[in-house]
Chains A and B, each alone.
Chain A
């Protein structure tokens, strides 16, 4: 079983709508959690990073939350744009790094 589980696997929303992506992990010990965005045909790019003492971090229209007690994180996208269409990957750092399988988001006009 993967130590980092993301849901949903894929998501389709209309432009302008909000959405929330989930990441649950069992990685221990835990030191940090990072969300990456991967556009089709490109390498992933970091959006946010949080340590165990942080419970929210924003980057423009992207807001990540972390609950280290329940080992859950979410990425909220506000007022989605067509360019938000991508895969969003949750990566949890501990003794090494564990990748989630990603959520494929499609924003339609």
Chain B
């Protein structure tokens, strides 16, 4: 079946512009995660959606970052007034259940964001 998909695969934007990244999770997966990965670095948690519960936004680095999810489907990550330090790969993952229950996360291919 289809895995997690993300779009665009690459995005180059000018400093100060807003960008919107999209994630389509695996159908039926109630949990959705966004991560940021800078070049040569580990995964940095951004936000976690679980069903209709309030999302865990504790990883968002600033108020320029926001994310939404419609039900248990598509999610968008928005970065306003982009800065050069926002340049990274943004990875989305989905899983069947609660994160504390250890369900495997299935990752998308990521969106490579470059802020010039």
Task: Tell me if chain B binds chain A.
Answer: yes
Q: B-contacting residues of A (Cβ < 8 Å)?
A: 31-32, 34, 41-46, 49, 51, 89, 93-97, 99-102
User: Counting CB contacts under 8 A, is B104 at the interface?
Assistant: yes
CB pair B43–A93 under 8 Å, yes or no, is: no
CB pair A43–B102 under 8 Å, yes or no, is: no
CB pair A102–B45 under 8 Å, yes or no, is: no
Q: Which of B41, B42, B45, B91 contacts A97 (CB 8 A)?
A: B45
User: Counting CB contacts under 8 A, is B66 at the interface?
Assistant: no
User: Closest residue to A98 on the B side, CB-wise?
Assistant: B45
A42 to B4, CA, bound (A): 12
Q: How many A-B residue pairs have CB under 8 A?
A: 52
For chain B, residues 75 to 116, give those with C-beta under 8 angstroms from any C-beta of chain A.
Answer: 91, 93, 99-102, 104-105, 107-110
On chain B, the number of residues with a Cβ less than 8 Å from chain A's Cβ atoms is 19
A41 to B108, CA, bound (A): 11
A51 to chain B: which residues have CB within 8 Å? 102
B4 to chain A: which residues have CB within 8 Å? 43
User: Counting CB contacts under 8 A, is B56 at the interface?
Assistant: yes
Complex A-B, nearest 3 residue pairs according to Cβ-Cβ distance, in ascending order: A43-B107, A32-B102, A101-B42
Q: Which of A46, A94, A95, A101 contacts B105 (CB 8 A)?
A: A46
